[in-house]
Amino acid sequence: MKKLIMTALVAPFVMALAACDVDQTKEAELPEVEVKGGQAPEFDVETADVDVGTKTTTVEVPTVDVDMPGDAEGKPVTGDE
């Protein structure tokens, strides 16, 4: 069961990584010892094209019938006691 849950959690991340083509365009540069400056690396990312659409669907929803018991004896609890 743990393997199934782990697979279900990891699979979307693997698919997301597989849908991207990442090329590093600039090397990173470490900052000086004084922790000033520095340069973050740059990346060109080409993501997959995703087409999103909508459609109208009829869904049968069950009805819920709640039968409340008759009046109970005592004082109702309102939370303001």
Question: In sequence order, which ranges of 1-81 are alpha helices (DSSP H)?
Answer: 2-18
Contact 24, 6 (CB under 8 A): no
What pLDDT does residue 17 have?
A: 66
pLDDT score of 79 more than 70: no
State the DSSP code for 77. Answer: P
Q: Give the model's pLDDT for residue 35.
A: 66
pLDDT at 78: 72
CB 20 within 8 A of CB 48: yes
Structure tokens at 60: 């049968």
Q: Could you report the per-residue pLDDT of 26-54, keeping only the tens digit for each? A: 898 887 777 667 888 898 888 888 899 99
Structure tokens at 26: 């600039």
- Give the residue-averaged pLDDT of 6-26: 75
